[in-house]
Amino acid sequence: MNFAIVGAGFTGAVLAQELAKLGHIITVYDSRNHVAGNCYSERDKETNIMIHKYGPHIFHTDNEKVWSYVNKYGEFLPYTNRVKTTSQGQVYSLPINLHTINQFFSKNI
């Protein structure tokens, strides 16, 4: 059978892949000029830093089947959560801990 799939995000990509494996003919349409939907990432031309164009994307799963499936089709980069905030021109660590308090009040507690 012929299938037209609208959207090249995770949903469309998985459907297209699974239907193609069954021998169906698939055409995927997307109004954007790239695949991956809202999970799309690209390198910033100036800094070469990978940016998440539509929002942060951390892949969460504790399902071995899902993890094994997605790893067949893409490479995942390790992620470390380091949150900072600014107040009156100074940079502080978040979540607030003793170090943040020492920084904020210029103390050595």
Ligand X SMILES: Cc1cc2nc3c(=O)[nH]c(=O)nc-3n(C[C@H](O)[C@H](O)[C@H](O)COP(=O)(O)OP(=O)(O)OC[C@H]3O[C@@H](n4cnc5c(N)ncnc54)[C@H](O)[C@@H]3O)c2cc1C
Binding site for ligand X (CB under 6 A): 6-12, 29-32, 37-39, 54-60
In the complex with ligand X, the residue whose CB is nearer, 7 or 19, is 7
In the complex with ligand X, the residue whose CB is nearer, 59 or 104, is 59
The distance of closest approach from Cβ of residue 102 to ligand X in the complex, given in angstroms and rounded to an integer, is 31
The distance of closest approach from Cβ of residue 14 to ligand X in the complex, given in angstroms and rounded to an integer, is 8
Partners of 3 in the β-ladder: 26
Pull the structure tokens for residue 98: 């003793």
The distance of closest approach from Cβ of residue 88 to ligand X in the complex, given in angstroms and rounded to an integer, is 29
Distance CA 11, CA 88 (A): 44
Distance CA 71, CA 10 (A): 13
In the complex with ligand X, the residue whose CB is nearer, 55 or 89, is 55
Distance CA 48, CA 76 (A): 17
